A and B are shown apart, each in its own frame.
Chain A
Amino acid sequence: MGCAASVPDKSSGRSGGLNNLENGGPPDAKNLRVKLVLLGDSGVGKSCIVLRFVRGQFDPTSKVTVGASFLSQTIALQDSTTVKFEIWDTAGQERYAALAPLYYRGAAVAVIVYDITSPESFTKAQYWVKELQKHGSPDIVMALVGNKADLQDSREVPAQDGIDYAEKNGMFFIETSAKTADNINQLFQEIAKRLPRPSVPDS
């Protein structure tokens, strides 16, 4: 963006950023806590995905995110582990782009969302993938999400494009609809399965 002047510099290598590991206690292989960040163009439905996942709701009125919202949700996996997602739902508006490192720094998972009816948002998603490959944690789990899958009639990004791009970049791919709840839980279940498990420390 054009006006990055007074936002925090992303080059600084110090651990900074919004990480809550201090009071997280020792790593526990049965109860994981992961920081997840959602990135993507404004209006692709990041907030709707999160609110569908966390509260089971869908509100069609647009509520442009300011800065970033924080929500958390715990899910149980079949092997009786639980995963607590600490979710940063970032603002897709251009003026906040320079701020993104603050939220993705230290994130174990990045969910990059586009809108299947908007090729521009797919381009923007690719920008975020590149940015994370450069500046994100090296072992970050990345998911590419084509949202608004309920709008098949106005689809402009073929599913195959998403699949191909995700494959090339070692990402998990899924199409979702926050509106119908289609694939929303699956998205987070799949992410949870792919998380690197901490090796159980001797204690």
Chain B
Amino acid sequence: MSTSSSSSISSDDEPNSNPNPIDDELSLASVTLNESNGNGSVNVNENENENNRQDGGEITWGRKNSEVEVEAPSSPSSSGYAGERGSSETTNSRIEDDEIQQVNNDDGFVDEVNHSRASSWVPGKRHVDEDDASISWRKRKKHFFILSNSGKPIYSRYGDEHKLAGFSATLQAIISFVENEGDHVKLVRAGNHQVVFLVKGPIYLVCISCTEEPYESLKGQLELIYGQMILILTKSLNRCFEKNPKFDMTPLLGGTDVVFSSLIHSFSWNPATFLHAYTCLPLAYATRQAAGAILQDVAESGVLFALLMCKNKVISLVGAQKASLHPDDMLLLSNFVMSSESFRTSECFSPICLPRYNPMAFLYAYVHYFDDDTYLMLLTTSSDAFYHLKDCRIRIEMVLLKSNVLSEVQRSLLEGGMRVEDLPLDPLPRSSISHRMSQQRLLTDSPERFRESSVGIGGPAGLWNFIYRSIYMDQYVSSEFSSPINSHQQQKRLYRAYQKLYSSMHEKGIGPHRTQFRRDENYVLLCWVTPDFELYAAFDPLADKALAIKTCNRVCQWVKDVENEIFLQGASPFSCATDKTEFAVLMLESYL
């Protein structure tokens, strides 16, 4: 199996080697042909049988030697597909490059205008007119499906679920065939495609992808999609299937396409989706404290969790007593709120379930937007707490206005976070901290484009980007994207590379990898894992190794110097891990 995968990889190494997209069509052909059997006796394709034998039922595929991932970016012209369902707002949007497989001859390093996320992606499902017979549907690079164990479609990223009944039945047949054999299907490789299965009681989740993301990453994405569904419906939906195995769940998910499509979109830009950590909006320590104090105040009056967020970033959060909030729940909750437009219109009170907190029960969420980006979520177990929570919000709003938190939030949003170009040269004086987070920012308020053209080469020693994840705090910080990682495609490719690195560092049975240094034609990637933190850094592919290592040490020092501004201190959402370990900046050289 690893042979077949590495051979397909090596052909990908030449960016121009595959001018014929038809070759990359969903090659489930051998499976699809058997659809008519209908009774579950599907001949699973050869790959899978092979895998079955080799791995004793746990179908996985070997790690590849080459970390090269060549993903052909699509051109904006590929967006000429039909608009989303029931809405007329699909104006000229750019399409995500995993939407359709298209082989271009450039390798993504062309200078592109830096589209902001908001303008480059329009929420909602597209291509509803497609079904499994459409060529365009078959060429999509990454499909996600949810179906029931009786083969009823529940969700599909592309195309109308109802038109995909035949295809769903096929997937269901594969799963039950292997389950009857006493195995659990996890992964099938079919040509360039990986088919990843996740079985959750009566719910099957499937990803079909030719993006070369590691199995663990795709599985993690399916877990999040399942979690998103639980957030909307709770796990008590299982009972519907106990009563009626043929239960049709699609009406229960009515109007939630945007929630799922926005989650799937975030797999390509939000590192929280694979780091299982959250990130904070950079703020002066005192500002965050002021927000935290008032949240703490209301939390003591019967609010289970109080979260103040700006887009996907935390301003402050507080949990009552020992209640702990898992970073994945935060991700799913903020995705749900941000993707459901109605929350922006006026204050809302809605049942939601936090899958990691308690997958069986609804909590009630009071949601209020203070401005376009900043919103408050107060969670409670009490279904009639609305007026109390509304009063809490009014108190919070008064304090936030009085202490200028909301204007500081807007300022931080404009200024952005850590930038590789600002990496302090020598980690000497502690006085450089405030210098770095505030003064310099004011000079760079100009829109992204200007800054990029004026900087050009990233940070010292060819440092392009980094992500630092603090283990005990469940938080991460990533540097702002800067040149040459400008386009959404380049950003996505970098995140995919990090993701690969992350899963290779966390693979079971490999032992604690401490460091990895990889060089390919796109980057030098450096990863450093300690019990306290993980650092992922990307450098120019020509970067000097010794210098890169030195630079990573400096990044760690820098993060430590500004930790009061970039992390939420002392309020670990995992209440058990509150003892904050003082982390020493270890000398990375000694590991490599």
Contacts and interface: CB of A to CB of B under 8 A. Distances in A.
Interface of A: 1-3, 5-8, 16-20, 22-23, 42, 47, 51, 60-71, 89, 91, 93-96, 99, 102
A157 B334 CA distance: 40
A67 B383 CA distance: 11
A67 B390 contact: no
Interface stretch (B81-89, B162-170, B550-558): B81-89
A45 B422 CA distance: 51
B251 A6 contact: no
B239 interface: yes
Given A18-B384, A68-B350, A2 B252 contact: yes
A6 B353 CA distance: 10
A71 B247 CA distance: 36
B386 A1 contact: no
A112 B383 CA distance: 23
A174 B390 CA distance: 32
B259 to A, nearest CB: 9
A132 B38 CA distance: 46
8 contacts: A3-B234, A5-B236, A6-B361, A7-B351, A18-B349, A65-B348, A67-B349, A70-B390
A74 B350 CA distance: 25
A66 B348 contact: yes
B324 to A, nearest CB: 21
A69 B345 contact: yes
Interface in B312-341: 340-341
Contacts of A66: 340, 342-343, 348, 350
Contacts of A68: 348-350
A91 B352 CA distance: 14
B203 to A, nearest CB: 13
Interface SS majority for chain A:
loop
B157 to A, nearest CB: 19
Interface in B387-419: 387, 390
B86 A3 contact: no
Nearest to B383: A8
B360 interface: yes
B511 to A, nearest CB: 42
A47 B345 contact: yes
Contacts of A94: 251-252, 254
3 closest A-B pairs by beta carbon, nearest first, are A67-B350, A64-B255, A5-B236
Contact of B346 (A16, A61, A70): A70
Contact of B345 (A23, A51, A93, A99): A51
A1 B86 contact: no
A2 B244 CA distance: 10
Nearest to A72: B346
Contacts of B179: none
Nearest to A64: B255
Contacts of A8: 383
Given A17-B384, A94-B252, A102-B383, A6 B360 contact: yes
A93 B89 CA distance: 21
B362 interface: yes
Interface in B250-280: 251-255
B390 A6 contact: no
Contact of A64 (B233, B252, B342, B362): B342
B342 A61 contact: no
A1 B254 CA distance: 12
A16 to B, nearest CB: 5
Contact of A2 (B247, B254, B387): B247
Contact of B237 (A3, A22, A60, A93): A3
Interface residues of B, number: 39
Contacts of B234: 3, 5-6
B286 interface: no
A86 to B, nearest CB: 10
A3 B345 contact: no
B347 interface: yes
Contact of A70 (B87, B348, B384): B348
Nearest to B124: A62
Nearest to B240: A2
B239 A7 contact: no
A18 B350 CA distance: 12
Contacts of B222: none
Contacts of A20: 387
A99 B343 CA distance: 18
Q: Count chain B CB atoms within 10 A of each CB in A7, A47, A69 and give the residue with the most.
A: A69
Contact of A95 (B86, B254, B345, B346): B254
Contacts of B365: 67
B229 to A, nearest CB: 11
Contact of B384 (A1, A67, A89, A102): A102
A61 B347 CA distance: 19
Contact of A61 (B87, B237, B247, B351): B87
Contacts of B526: none
B363 to A, nearest CB: 10
B85 to A, nearest CB: 10
Contact of B89 (A1, A19, A61): A61
B88 A60 contact: yes
B346 to A, nearest CB: 5
Q: Count chain A CB atoms within 10 A of each CB in B88, B233, B349, B360 and give the residue with the most.
A: B349
Contacts of A22: 387
A42 to B, nearest CB: 6
Contacts of A47: 342, 345
A102 B382 CA distance: 11
A3 B236 contact: yes
A23 B362 CA distance: 27
B306 interface: no
B349 A70 contact: yes
Given A3-B237, A62-B87, A18 B340 contact: no
B485 interface: no
Contacts of A5: 234, 236, 239
Contacts of B383: 8, 16, 102
B378 interface: no
B232 interface: yes
Contacts of B88: 60-61
B391 to A, nearest CB: 9
Contacts of B89: 61
Given A69-B348, A70-B347, A99-B351, A63 B341 contact: yes
Q: Count chain A CB atoms within 10 A of each CB in B348, B360, B390 and give the residue with the most.
A: B348
Contact of A16 (B237, B360, B384): B384
Contacts of B341: 61, 63-64
Contacts of A71: 346
Q: Count chain B CB atoms within 10 A of each CB in A22, A91, A95, A99 and give the residue with the most.
A: A95
Contact of B236 (A6, A42, A63): A6
Given A3-B252, A95-B252, A69 B351 contact: no
Given A66-B348, A67-B348, A3 B239 contact: yes
Contacts of A67: 348-351, 365
A8 B364 CA distance: 11
Contacts of A99: 351
A198 B527 CA distance: 72
Contacts of A91: 350
